[in-house]
Amino acid sequence: MENFFKLVAELGLPIAGTIGLGAFIMVIIKYILGSVVSSIKFIESVITQLDNRVKTMNNDILKLDQEVSEQLGLPVDTSRVARADGKKDARKD
């Protein structure tokens, strides 16, 4: 408490009050940003998990499509398989 009174005596009450309120605002902003960052990290992990599920489902659908095509005697759509990987079909068959 003595340090506060020394600060008021040297700088004046308005400046000392401004410094105190500035420190208070910094603590509040740090608290708010900490909670926002933790929420963003949680949402990022959920989105990553959903993206992995979509990729898995896409691969499963392609496998089912290929199996049904083979069972019905239809040609397999190799361009669709290649598009699923984002690459051109590199097979030489």
Q: Model's pTM, two decimal places? A: 0.54
Contact between 78 and 92 under an 8 Å Cβ cutoff? The reply is no
Cα-to-chain-centroid distance, residue 70: 40
Q: Which residue has the tokens 């992990």?
A: 45
Over the chain (93 residues), the average pLDDT of each successive run of 10 is 82 86 94 92 93 84 86 82 61 46
CA 93 – CA 83 distance, rounded (Å): 17
Closest CA to 55 of 84, 89, 80: 84
